[in-house]
Amino acid sequence: MAVPPSPDAFFLYGSSPSLGTRTILSFEDGCNMNGSKRSFFGMLGTDEIVNEDLEDYFHQPEKKRRLTTDQVRSLERSFEEENKLEPERKVQLAKDLGLQPRQVAIWFQNRRARCKTKLLEKDFEALQSSYNSLTAQHEALLKETDELKAEVISLKEKLEMKERVVESSDLSTRFSQESASEGEVLEVPKSTSKQEDACSSRGDVFIPGSPPYTNGSQSPLLDPCDSSYIFEPDQSDLSQEEEDDELSKNCLVTASVSPKQEGSNQCIYEFSGLDQAFWPWS
Partner DNA sequence: TTGTGTTTTATTGCCTCC
Partner DNA sequence: GGAGGCAATAAAACACAA
Which of 99, 239, 62, 246 is CA-nearest to residue 89?
99
Min dist. Cβ of residue 61 to DNA (A): 8
Eight-state DSSP code of residue 197: H
Binders of DNA in range 113-132 (CB under 7 A): 113-114, 116
Strand partners, 269: 257
Task: Report d(CA 63, CA 14) in Å as an integer.
Answer: 10
Q: Which residues lie below 8 Å from residue 168, measured CB to CB, with a gap of 6+?
A: 205, 219, 221, 222, 231
Among 21, 145, 176, 240, binds DNA (CB under 7 A): 21
Which of 12, 24, 64, 72 is CA-nearest to residue 43?
64
Nearer to DNA, 40 or 278 (CB): 40
Instruction: Determine the straight-line distance between the first and last CA of the chain, rounded to whole angstroms.
Output: 99
Binders of DNA in range 91-110 (CB under 7 A): 102-103, 105-110
Min dist. Cβ of residue 40 to DNA (A): 6
How many residues contact DNA, by CB under 7 A? Answer: 37
Among 37, 77, 118, 143, binds DNA (CB under 7 A): 37
Q: Is residue 34 a contact residue for DNA (CB under 7 A)?
A: no
Nearer to DNA, 99 or 222 (CB): 99
Among 9, 30, 39, 200, binds DNA (CB under 7 A): 39
Nearer to DNA, 16 or 176 (CB): 16
Q: Give the DSSP per-residue string, 132-195.
A: HHHHHHHHHHHHHHHHHHHHHHHHHHHHHHHHHHHHHHHHHHHHHHHHHHTTT---PPP-SSHH
Min dist. Cβ of residue 134 to DNA (A): 29
**Three-class DSSP category at 25:** strand
Strand partners, 12: 23
Which of 150, 154, 142 is CA-nearest to residue 243?
154
Binding range to DNA, per CB under 7 A, among 79-87, 130-138, 177-185, 247-255: 79-87
Eight-state DSSP code of residue 67: P
Task: Report d(CA 7, CA 28) in Å as an integer.
Answer: 6
Q: Is residue 63 a contact residue for DNA (CB under 7 A)?
A: yes
Binding range to DNA, per CB under 7 A, among 49-57, 84-92, 126-134, 239-247: 84-92
Nearer to DNA, 82 or 182 (CB): 82
Among 10, 40, 57, 79, binds DNA (CB under 7 A): 40
Binders of DNA in range 192-251 (CB under 7 A): none
Where along the sequence are the contacts to DNA (CB under 7 A)? Answer: 14-16, 18-19, 21-24, 36-40, 42-43, 63-67, 72, 84-85, 87, 102-103, 105-110, 112-114, 116
